[in-house]
């Protein structure tokens, strides 16, 4: 039967799909963390009447933190 043969490239394709889904998940996490940090900064600005100081500070903390996390997950920096 010709339809039951295994494709020798199938494990490679599965690994590529798994890797791609992992990076999509990191992208969603990146957006969620930055959005949550920005929202928390905005909330704190409204409470303290310091607009937009905390929002900008929390955005930068979330952004730098997620960049660091992405570099670490990718295997670190290789100089």
Q: How many domains does the chain have?
A: 1
Instruction: Express each pLDDT in 60-79 by its tens digit.
Output: 999 999 999 888 888 877 76
**Is 62 inside a domain boundary?**
yes
Distance CA 34, CA 51 (A): 18
Condensed to tens digits (0 to 9), the pLDDT of residues 22-69 reads 778 888 999 999 999 999 999 999 999 998 999 999 999 999 999 998
Domain presence at residue 6: no
Q: What is the pTM of this model?
A: 0.72
15 within a domain of the structure (yes/no): no
Is 65 inside a domain boundary? yes
The residues, ordered by sequence, that sit 6+ positions from 42 with a Cβ below 8 Å of its Cβ are: 51, 52, 54, 55
- Supply the range of the domain harboring residue 32: 27-74
55 falls within a domain: yes
């Amino acid at each position: 039967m010709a339809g039951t043969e295994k494709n020798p490239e199938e494990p490679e394709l599965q690994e590529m799909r798994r890797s791609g889904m992992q990076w999509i998940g990191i992208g969603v996490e990146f957006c969620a963390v930055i959005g949550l940090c920005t929202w928390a900064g905005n909330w704190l600005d409204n409470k303290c009447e310091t607009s937009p100081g905390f929002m900008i500070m929390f955005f930068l903390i979330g952004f730098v933190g997620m960049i660091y996390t992405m570099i670490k997950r990718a295997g670190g920096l290789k100089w």
